[in-house]
Amino acid sequence: MLKLGIIGTNWITQQFVEAAAETKRYELVSVYSRTLAKAKDFGKKNGATKFFDDLTEFFKSDTFDTVYIASPNSLHFAQAKLAIDHGKNIIVEKPAFTNQKQMQKIQELLTKNPSVHLLEAARNVHTKNFSAIKKQVVAMDRIQGASFTYMKYSSRYDQVLAGETPNIFTLKFAGGALQDLGVYTAYDAIALFGMPDDVAYYPQFISTQVDGKGTAILRYPEFDVTLNFGKITNSFASSEIYGMKDTIVIDDAGELTDVQYHDEDGKVTQIGDTPEGNPMVDEANDFAEILEAPEAPKNRENYEKWLSLSINVNKVLFNLRQSGKLEFPDD
């Protein structure tokens, strides 16, 4: 069983801890938080036994072999470096890192430490419904474009409107729409269609100088893909992948809970199942498969595929930020 340490005590950490427990392949042992009381409060209710408010001591601990990082975006890089230095496998919430320079450094460290593995938690591409979408895309005669939408109003935006600066809406912590919900849409596009030839981003900036919402265009040789995402409004628009006379219709580019195929005769077929329960269980199982037996040929193949995808998404996100003139302090 994998021994798990976690950084972060927010709602997404709780969701991952519950998903990990559901797989019965992880045991939560250690929790780090900036305050020891918060680490204990979160950890004890989830069965952890070791608690830390010192990050170096946390990573020196031999109580866990895998760390789940769900801290603010700008902290991922330094924490992942520490994890590699201490021989810990890494599951890092998306976006893994904020720029290509950071990703390249992590690649170098992983090469020097081949027993350590890094996995980016972009849950949508690990779901069964995403596999169904990918299979249907391959079966279509021709792809003529796609539009992926994921917009959800964040309650933290109320704080911005009140004159505050929550972490998820600050440049300091590499916040904003592209670096959050936009990551899911980028993963959808790149996992399905590969790397685009060119990209453009049109952000809508808010008072904290990050993008509250935006539209991105990914240009491919024969079609374009439009990404619509935001954290300052709600959208109920479907996402679509366009064939000739046929179309895949997806209820939500991040959740992928309802997927339909409309054929050229107008017949509608449900090509995915309605998921039930914790949406992070599939990725938790996929990651456990890799970490339990990293040398198995299929696992090695999947790991290299997912790491390559993470690198490509990092590059596209960075290029989109450059296009939209969105710069972070670490750039």
Q: Average pLDDT over the chain, rounded to whole?
A: 97
pLDDT of residue 183: 98
Residue 104 sits in a domain whose CATH number is: 3.40.50.720
Q: Are residues 93 and 134 in the same domain?
A: no
Quote the CA–CA distance of 88 and 60 in Å, as a whole number.
10
215-243 as b/e, with b when 16 or more CB fall inside 10 Å?
A: bbbbebeebebbbbbbbbeebeebbbbbb
Is 17 in the same domain as 132? no
Q: Mark whether 112 and 175 lie in a shared domain.
A: no
Count other C-beta atoms under 10 Å from residue 315's C-beta.
Answer: 16
What confidence tens digit (pLDDT) does each residue in 159-171 have?
999 999 999 999 9
Strand partners of residue 249: 240, 260
User: In 10 A of CB 274, how many CB atoms?
Assistant: 10
pLDDT for residue 274 is more than 90: no
Alpha helices in the chain (DSSP H): 11-23, 36-45, 55-60, 76-85, 100-112, 128-139, 156-161, 181-193, 281-292, 297-323
Look at residues 94, 121, 148 and tell me which one is the last residue of a structural domain: 121
Given 71, 91, 121, which residue is the final one in a domain?
Answer: 121
- Grade residue 276 by pLDDT with cuts at 50, 70 and 90: confident
Which residues are CB-neighbours of 304 under 8 A, at least 6 positions away? none
Of the three residues 279, 298, 325, the one that is the final residue of a domain is: 279
For residue 93, what are the domain limits? 2-121
Residue 282 in this model has a pLDDT that exceeds 90:
yes
The CATH number covering residue 181 comes to: 3.30.360.10
- Based on the structure, what is the number of domains in the chain? 2
- 54 with 191, same domain: the answer is no
pLDDT average, residue stretch 267-295: 95
Confidence band, pLDDT 50/70/90 cuts, at residue 272: confident
Rounded distance between C-alpha atoms, residue 121 and residue 69, angstroms: 9
Q: Express each pLDDT in 218-251 by its tens digit.
A: 999 999 999 999 999 999 999 999 999 999 999 9
* Same domain (yes/no): 186, 263: yes
Same domain, 157 and 78: no
